[in-house]
Each structure stands twice: as C-alpha cells, then as structure tokens.
A and B are shown apart, each in its own frame.
Chain A
Amino acid sequence: MKAGALVENIRMSVRSIASNKVRSFLTALGVMIGTGAVIAMLALGAGAQKSVEGSLQALGSNLLIVYSGQPRGGALIRRSTTNIIPTITDADIEAIRRLIPNLITSLAPESSANGQAKFGSTNVNVTIVGTGVDYPLIRNVRPVTGSFFTPADLDGKKTVVVLGAQVYQDLFQNAGDPLGQKVRLNGLSYRVIGVLERKGNSTTDSSVFVPITTYKRYVSGADKYALVNVQAASVEVMREAQSAIEKELLRLHRLPTMDSADFYIANQLDLLNTLQGVAGTFTLLLGGIAAISLIVGGIGIMNIMLVSVTERTREIGIRMALGAKTGDIIAQFMTEAIILSVGGGLIGIGIGYGTSWAFSKFGGIASEVNLLAVILSFGFSVLIGLFFGGYPAYHASRLDPIQALRYE
C-alpha cells in the first residue's frame, strides 16, 4: 500500500466515524471502559501491594520473632503479647545471641502486661512492654523526643519509661515537655526519657516501654519472656537464621521436632510473601475482570463494523468498480476499527487515571497508576481493534463487486 493511501484511508475513516458520531462514541465506549478499568484496577493492585510492603517495612527489616507458645496457622505477627504464657528463657536468649554476627545482628526480648499509666489526674490503660535497648532498631521505631533507654538503664533496673505516641497524647494532650516528668505505672513512679514516633498501629502507639530488667522486677515476676525480636544479618540469611534458632531452642527445650515445640518463629519474609501473594492475586483478579470488559468492548467494535460493512455494501461495490483492491478495502475498514479502538483506548487511559485518582482522593484507597499498565492496556486495545476489525474488513473485501453494486 502506498503512503498516500494511508493518509487517504485515515481521512475516509475519520469522515465515516464523524458522520455517525453517537454510534461511533458508543462503539468506542466499550474499549474506553475496558482500558480505563484495566488501568484503574492495576493501579489499585499496585497501591495495595505498595501499602502492604510499606506496613511490613514499618515492622522492621529482616525481622524474625520468636514467640512463646504453640505454632499457629499462618504464624502472623501478633503485637499483642499480654496473653502469652512465656516459655523463652535467659538460656535461650544467650543461645540466640551466640548467632551474632554471622546470622543475626541484634535481638531484643520482650514481655508485656496490661497496666495503667497516670500523669497528674489523667490516667489511661496501656500495655507495659519490657524490652532491650535494640528494640527501636529491630522494630524500626524511633523516639521523636528524648531517647530510648541505654544499657546502663537496663543494668541498673532504672525506673525510666519511653511513651508510645498515643499514650503521650492522652497523658500530656500534646502539650509541654514530657522529659523528666514522673508517670506512674501500676502505682510506681517512672521518669519519662522519651516519646516514640507515631507508627499508626495502635498496639505500639498505646504502649509504654521500660527496660526488661525493670519489667521483671516491678511489673511481672516471671523470669521467662513472651517473645524475642531478632534482626537477621541480611535477607539472604533469614531462613538460615530461623532454622539455627529453631535448632538451638529445640535442643535447650529438649524437644525432638517443631511439631511439638513450645515456641515458633514468625519470619517477616514469609509474611511479606504471603501478603504479596494476596496482593498479586488481587491485582490479577481485578485486572482479569477488567481485561474481559476490554474484550467485550472489542466484540462491540466487531459488531458495529459488521453492521457498517453491510450498510456500506454499495459503497464497497463502487470502490471496487473504480479499482479498489482487496487490500484497499481491508485497509479502509481496519483503519476505521483501529481509529475507534485507539481513540477509545486514549480516552480510557484518561478514565483510568481519573478513577485511580478518585479512589485515592475520595475512597482513601491507595492506588498507583503504573506506566507499564498504561502501555499494556493501550497496546491491548490496539490489538483488539486489529483483531476484531479484521473479520469485518476481510468480510468486506470478499464481496462480489457485481452483487455489491446491485445492493439496495
């Protein structure tokens, strides 16, 4: 086909599309909605994936948590540990500590209990958490005011406390310098040395943190721990670190296998994989449904093109009599189908962006338009035009010019 013929085809197609605006719009509407849906749904999926990754990152990096108790299905990280019967001993802690520096970088034991915090005449229910100095590092939570407790606080069993963001807000109404103030926990007076940043999860924000040694002396007499937060040396050694800890603890607890263990290890990697898998399935599901609507849009194009070919049988006959070849007729109708689907696809991209924006703005749902998704769904809509325009165009090109000229 000559280059001039392409320009000619586009001009003729635009004229034919413009001569029946409502029908053309309705024809392209299917592709618009389809493309828009694919982009918006993939944006939702990408947003979900990102927020999953974000909230897991907030838990800390390369995190392993050794919990007391029977393994539970899914081993999801439970931050509320107040109802756990502790089974992890000091000997266990020391055994895990020996894995530094090859497999792990740091660890922080943790026990917690419900309690009351009182400042002046205000008092609130809190979770009192006893832990080690590496807790902020491992759990990725930083003090915004003051500092976390030091090894000296730990060794001296000092009555110092670091407040969660919500506790600080409730006790101090966000006013005044809390550092050095006395807060009573279960009746005993503690000196405030820091306030943690807001994490957005209520368990951390409504907890207060004291040295584990202090916790064992004043809050709970038990000498075992509910759990141990462990930071693996790297992502690559997380599984190795997990099995090394399992092996050590099974030996110390004199247990044959993990099936009968009185502890279990939650691995951030597993959690990440699980959640990413869920988000991925979610994306696939949404994208798949949207893709079906895109195909339905394509069928709409085919339907209208077939009607159009029938309506224009005589025009096709005239063109053939004047010298249009098979290829010329195919090119003409294909051009029309492609213009409709590409036009629909372009508007659909706009709809996709708009929908995604509206999800974030009004729905409060994270969504992120992925350039790849835009290219993919647009390319797909072009292919739809080619594929579903192909049959009507072929049909048109096979008409017998004599019959076509006689068509009323």
Chain B
Amino acid sequence: MITVKNLSRHYQMGPTIVKALDDVSFTIEGGEFVAIVGPSGSGKSTLMNILGCLDSPTLGSYVLAGEEVSHLKPNQLAEIRNRRIGFVFQSFNLLPRETALENVELPLIYQGVPLKERKKIALAMLERVGLEGREKHIPSELSGGQRQRVAIARALAASPSILLADEPTGALDTKTGVEIMELFHALHKEGSTIILVTHDPGIARQAERVIQIQDGRILKDLPSKEWAA
C-alpha cells in the first residue's frame, strides 16, 4: 500500500539545513495497523505530513497505492488526499457551522459526488461510527468523543486507501479515548489500513507494528509486542 524509500525532508533555517527526515525507508501493506511514535521534534509530524500528501519530500520516493506521489503539484496532491487519505486530527478539525452530516459530506463534495448519493454515504458512515440520529447536530452540540467519531466518519467517507490519525485520543478523556481506540480496532478488523501517529507508548502498543522515529531517522521498526518488550 505504502512504499517509502530513502525519504528525506530538509528545511533551510538561515545558513543551516535542518534534516527533519533523513533517509527513511519502510513499507506498509494494505490492512496493517501501524503506529508511528517519537517525541516532539523527532520528525514524526514531518513524516505524517508527507504520508498525508500535505507536504512533499526533498529527496526519495513515496509510492502510495501504486502511484509515485513525491513530486506532484499542489492540485494533484489535493486530489490524492481527497481519494486516498482519510485524516483524523487531534483537535477534530470539523467545520463549526456545518452539521455532522455536512462535515462528513465534505470530501465527497470535492469528489463531485451528486447530492443524493453523498447524503446516503454520509449517513451510512455516521451510522458506522455509532452516531445515528445525530446527523443534524453541529459540532458544538456534540461531546468530544462524538466529534471525533464525526471526524472518523468523514475520514471514511471517500473510501480512502489509508486512515491517517494524528494523536486521535490526545484531546479526549481516558474513557472516551478507549472508546475511540476500540473504533479504530473495529475498523482495522474490517480491513482498513490505519497509520496512527502518537507520542504515547500506551497508544502505540495497541497497533500491530510500531515505527519509532528519532532525530529524523527510524530507530526501531518492530511488531508491537517485540517493541514493547
């Protein structure tokens, strides 16, 4: 599903070049549940931005679902994000004035899916995350857990190749965080490919495989049981 080879991302900071990512290579198969861990400043956010096609690497190749995406232009990247990536953010990132249903419809709008079909898909997705009956609510009328469920429904709506979750439980209380992780496990069992970016080893441990980043390089890439040990 994802093949990353010799990936580097450099930033020019005054006279010096900062290597946020330095020669990173790995492969993620379809249906895997992978956690990317590392402290802040380790380069995991940079990696997530590149995997999410929000940013392009300075060097190296990134093949997503058989397509080389490392040198695409902004509008082409937008299209890849739209079709291939389902984002779940720490702070939900829902549009505050739109209802839950309309938020879930958003990626489908940019895909040009007709209104009726869009509504049908969005309703099914809300049902899938356990929010039936809440479709008319705007985000401020929903609890944190419910908002994250809306965000997950939105991420699922365009049937993406990967779900890319950035600290999805970071803004939730423990109990709600557990519920959201249960939802990710359920989605994984149904066959979704999930990449979860976190700094929390307890969350990372729940994935099948852990890629640990430090100073822009891969420190460990192990099945979670071995990593935890």
Contact = CB atoms under 8 A, between A and B. Distances in A.
Contact of A322 (B49, B110, B112): B110
A318 B54 CA distance: 11
A93 to B, nearest CB: 86
B107 interface: yes
Interface in A1-31: 2, 4-5, 8, 15-16, 19
12 contacts: A2-B112, A5-B109, A315-B95, A318-B95, A318-B106, A321-B54, A323-B78, A323-B79, A323-B83, A323-B107, A325-B75, A405-B89
A15 B95 CA distance: 12
A4 B117 CA distance: 13
Interface in A213-244: none
A323 B93 contact: no
A320 B78 contact: yes
Given A8-B109, A402-B49, A323 B82 contact: yes
Contacts of A317: 93
Given A318-B106, A323-B107, A327-B75, 7 more contacts: A2-B112, A318-B94, A322-B106, A323-B111, A324-B110, A325-B75, A401-B54
A15 B98 CA distance: 9
Contacts of B78: 320, 323-326
Given A4-B114, A314-B93, A405-B93, A322 B74 contact: no
Given A323-B83, A323-B107, A325-B79, A318 B93 contact: yes
The 9 closest A-B pairs by CB, nearest first: A323-B82, A323-B110, A2-B112, A325-B78, A322-B107, A325-B75, A318-B93, A322-B106, A401-B54
Interface string B106-122: 11011110110000000
Interface string B48-67: 01001011000000000000
A198 interface: no
A319 interface: yes
Interface in B185-221: none
A94 to B, nearest CB: 88
A151 to B, nearest CB: 86
A328 interface: yes
B87 interface: yes
Given A319-B106, A323-B82, A325-B79, A16 B97 contact: yes
Interface string A14-54: 01100100000000000000000000000000000000000
A213 to B, nearest CB: 90
A158 to B, nearest CB: 91
Given A5-B109, A322-B87, A326-B74, A402 B54 contact: yes
Contacts of A314: 93
Contacts of B97: 15-16, 19
B170 to A, nearest CB: 14
Nearest to B46: A402
B54 A4 contact: no
B52 A321 contact: yes
Interface string B134-154: 000000000000000000001
A129 to B, nearest CB: 79
